[in-house]
């Protein structure tokens, strides 16, 4: 069983295997606990024996009944972990299957569309920010990083288990959110403090080097920019998203 489980866990380093099997790796005590708290099924739990022997007062978190607990040595844990510093606990979980909530016009709800955010750490941070500001749902354009990548899950600090996320092209997203105000982030738009976000809306964040897909520009209600006062060419996508979502919630 342990050899088979190790093989499955190692295969989940690749996106096609995660999607094909409907499974992902949760790495670290906190992320594993968050996945369990979100009600995701745990198939295997790998625990580093050398770590557990030094932490006898730290119990394995509740909720692992029905899952297979496997004790590993350092070399095997290094093999299945995708992180540069492998954690003491790794779990194999079902990918969360959740539908985006129905859009209700004039509800003041906020939605987020991410266009080719390729860095998994940036995506995870944006999901954590979306969770903080109560974003209803996040759409990811094709070419955006995989939300179930270990780096993304780690950066989201468990928010990926709570925020509804879907992959969609612009046309499908706009059809789903028909009638919603659409705000596109650009370098040459209206200064952020001048925008009235009272009715909520859909915030578009594009790739840092390429910007937003041109398809969006014909549909956006407003083009907005964060005023800058120094010499930096642009802001990190997650930083920009946090600033704008804070204004939208005001």
What tokens does 187 get? 């370098």
How many Å apart are CA 22 and CA 82, to the nearest integer?
Answer: 18
Residues 147-206 have pLDDT tens digits of 999 899 999 999 999 999 988 888 888 888 888 899 998 888 899 999 988 888 999 998
* pTM assigned to the model: 0.87
CB 244 within 8 A of CB 226: yes
The pLDDT value given to residue 124 = 95
For the ranges 13-17, 45-49, 135-139, 223-227, the lowest mean pLDDT is seen at 45-49
Q: Which CATH architecture has domain 110-249?
A: 3-Layer(aba) Sandwich (3.40)
Q: Which CATH architecture has domain 2-94?
A: 2-Layer Sandwich (3.30)
For the ranges 44-58, 88-102, 194-208, the lowest mean pLDDT is seen at 44-58
What tokens does 181 get? 């105000």
The pLDDT value given to residue 206 = 83
How many Å apart are CA 173 and CA 177, to the nearest integer?
Answer: 6
How many Å apart are CA 79 and CA 90, to the nearest integer?
Answer: 11
Domain boundaries, given as residue ranges, for the chain: 2-94, 110-249
Secondary structure E strands in the chain: 23-27, 42-48, 68-72, 89-94, 110-115, 137-140, 165-167, 182-191, 201-206, 222-225
């Amino acid at each position: 069983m342990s050899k088979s489980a190790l093989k499955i866990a190692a295969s989940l380093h690749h996106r096609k295997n995660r999607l094909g099997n409907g499974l992902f790796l949760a790495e670290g005590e906190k992320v594993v606990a968050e996945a369990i708290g979100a009600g995701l099924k745990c198939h295997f739990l790998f625990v580093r024996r050398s770590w557990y022997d030094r932490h006898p007062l730290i119990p394995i978190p509740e909720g692992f009944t029905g899952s297979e607990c496997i004790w590993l040595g350092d070399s095997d844990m290094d093999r299945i972990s995708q992180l540069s510093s492998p954690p003491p606990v790794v779990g194999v979980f079902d990918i969360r299957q959740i539908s985006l909530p129905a859009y209700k016009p004039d509800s003041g709800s906020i939605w987020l569309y991410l266009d080719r955010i390729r860095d998994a750490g940036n995506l995870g941070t944006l999901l954590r920010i979306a969770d903080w500001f109560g974003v209803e749902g996040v759409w990811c354009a094709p070419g955006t990083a995989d939300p179930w990548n270990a780096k993304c899950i780690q950066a989201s600090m468990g928010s990926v288990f709570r925020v509804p996320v879907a992959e969609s092209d612009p046309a499908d997203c706009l059809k789903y959110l028909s009638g919603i105000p659409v705000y596109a982030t650009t370098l040459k738009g209206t200064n952020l403090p001048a925008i009235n976000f009272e009715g909520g809306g859909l915030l578009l964040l594009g790739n840092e080097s390429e910007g937003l897909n041109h398809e969006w520009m014909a549909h956006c209600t407003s083009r907005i920019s964060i005023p800058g006062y120094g010499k930096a060419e642009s802001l990190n996508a997650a930083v920009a998203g946090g600033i704008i979502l804070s204004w939208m919630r005001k």
